[in-house]
């Protein structure tokens, strides 16, 4: 059974059809790529999956259950978590405080236990922070634990955002242009990191503009243009698909951000 399946999902903004009957399905353990020119509707697809937008038509199926129109905060509880194209961290707060925010759903303490400082609360906090420490060690962020995130370089902020997402212990990690704004070195590190995350048993769904990176990273690709799926297949197939080449890869003015 597919982990995540979109069936004919359509999203309109007024007269503009941002996503037109889009369907694709992500299998467990895959690294799945969505590519397409700017404005093709890729981020809209992600916003629909995470319920920031509600699609007008179609269904989003998670492990066989329809999750269309659920409240955004319930999506993370299901095991779907995302990062954002323009990094949305809690800038004034430290790296560790940012990552511990991802523990919100998993941590079982109630609000009054915190106010009363009960033993269960203390144990729960200890478990949360230890998980955060584990993630910071995994992402090599220990030395920034107390640094406010808005004073960190872009590449490290990306890692913190991925760390925050990992803290929720997701089954599906959705990355919205994770390599945007990174230099070559940082991109290489990111590719390795994504492979490691996949090896942890987390399915990865990503949007990316960097074609070299996508082709070496993903198992399967869906190509979108003007909100419609124009092709899908393995990286080799996509690279040689005339429709894709015409729409996207072959154009000389390929975006370089």
Partner 1 sequence: MKKTTIAYIVFFAVMALIPFVSNNLWITIATTFCIFSVVALSVDIVLGRAGMFDMGHAVFFGLGAYATAIMNVHFEMNILMAIQVAILLPAIVAIVISSPIVHLRGDYLLVATVGFNIVFVQMLRNNFLGLTGGDDGIFGVDAEALGLYLDDPMIVYFMAFTLLLLTLLVIRNLEKSKAGRALHYVQEDPIASESIGINTRFYRVFSFSLGAAIAGLAGFIFTIQYTAVSPSAFDFMTSVMFFAIVLVGGKASIPGILAGTFIMFVLPEVFKGFETYRYFVFGIAMIVSMVLRPQGIFPAKYGKLPKYVTEDK
Interface ranges with partner 1 (CB under 8 A): 50, 52, 71-77, 81-82, 84, 88-94, 96-97, 100-105, 107, 109, 111, 113-117, 121, 124-126, 128-130, 132-133, 142, 145-148, 164-165, 167-168
Beta bridge pairs of residue 207: 34, 176
Tokens in use for 241? 């698909």
Minimum CB distance to partner 1 smaller for 73 or for 188 = 73
State the nearest-atom distance from the C-beta of 238 to partner 1, in Å: 29
The full length of the chain comes to 257
Minimum CB distance to partner 1 smaller for 128 or for 203 = 128
Give CA–CA dist 188/212, Å, rounded. 11
DSSP, collapsed to helix, strand or coil, labels residue 21 as strand
Residue 15 contacts residue 184 (beta carbons within 8 Å): no
State the nearest-atom distance from the C-beta of 155 to partner 1, in Å: 19
State the nearest-atom distance from the C-beta of 48 to partner 1, in Å: 13
Minimum CB distance to partner 1 smaller for 65 or for 146 = 146
Give CA–CA dist 168/4, Å, rounded. 18
Residue 136 contacts residue 153 (beta carbons within 8 Å): no
Give CA–CA dist 40/227, Å, rounded. 5
Minimum CB distance to partner 1 smaller for 38 or for 117 = 117
Residues 6+ apart with CB under 8 A from 174: 46, 49, 50, 80, 81, 82, 83, 204, 205, 206
State the nearest-atom distance from the C-beta of 147 to partner 1, in Å: 7
State the nearest-atom distance from the C-beta of 13 to partner 1, in Å: 17
Minimum CB distance to partner 1 smaller for 100 or for 197 = 100
State the nearest-atom distance from the C-beta of 81 to partner 1, in Å: 6
Minimum CB distance to partner 1 smaller for 81 or for 221 = 81
């Amino acid at each position: 059974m597919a982990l995540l399946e979109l069936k004919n999902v359509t999203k309109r903004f007024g007269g503009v059809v941002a996503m037109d009957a889009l369907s694709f399905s992500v299998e467990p353990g895959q690294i799945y790529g969505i590519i397409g020119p700017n404005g093709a509707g890729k981020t809209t697809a992600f916003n629909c999956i995470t319920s920031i937008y509600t699609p007008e038509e179609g269904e989003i199926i998670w492990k066989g259950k329809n999750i269309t129109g659920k409240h955004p905060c319930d999506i993370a509880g299901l095991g779907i978590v995302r990062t954002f194209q323009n990094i949305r961290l809690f800038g004034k707060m430290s790296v560790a405080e940012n990552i511990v925010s991802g523990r919100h759903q998993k941590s079982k303490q109630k609000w009054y236990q915190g106010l009363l400082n009960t033993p269960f609360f203390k144990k729960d906090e200890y478990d949360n922070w230890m998980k955060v420490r584990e993630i910071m060690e995994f992402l090599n962020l220990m030395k920034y634990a107390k640094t406010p995130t808005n004073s960190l370089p872009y590449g490290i902020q990306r890692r913190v955002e991925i760390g925050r997402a990992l803290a929720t212990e997701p089954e599906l990690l959705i990355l919205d242009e994770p390599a945007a704004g990174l230099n070559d070195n940082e991109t290489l590190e990111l590719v390795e990191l994504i492979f490691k995350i996949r090896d942890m048993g987390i399915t990865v769904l990503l949007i990316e503009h960097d074609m070299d990176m996508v082709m070496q990273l993903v198992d399967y690709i869906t190509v979108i243009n003007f909100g419609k799926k124009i092709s899908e297949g393995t990286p080799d197939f996509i690279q040689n698909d005339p429709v894709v080449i015409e729409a996207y890869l072959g154009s000389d003015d390929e975006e370089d951000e």
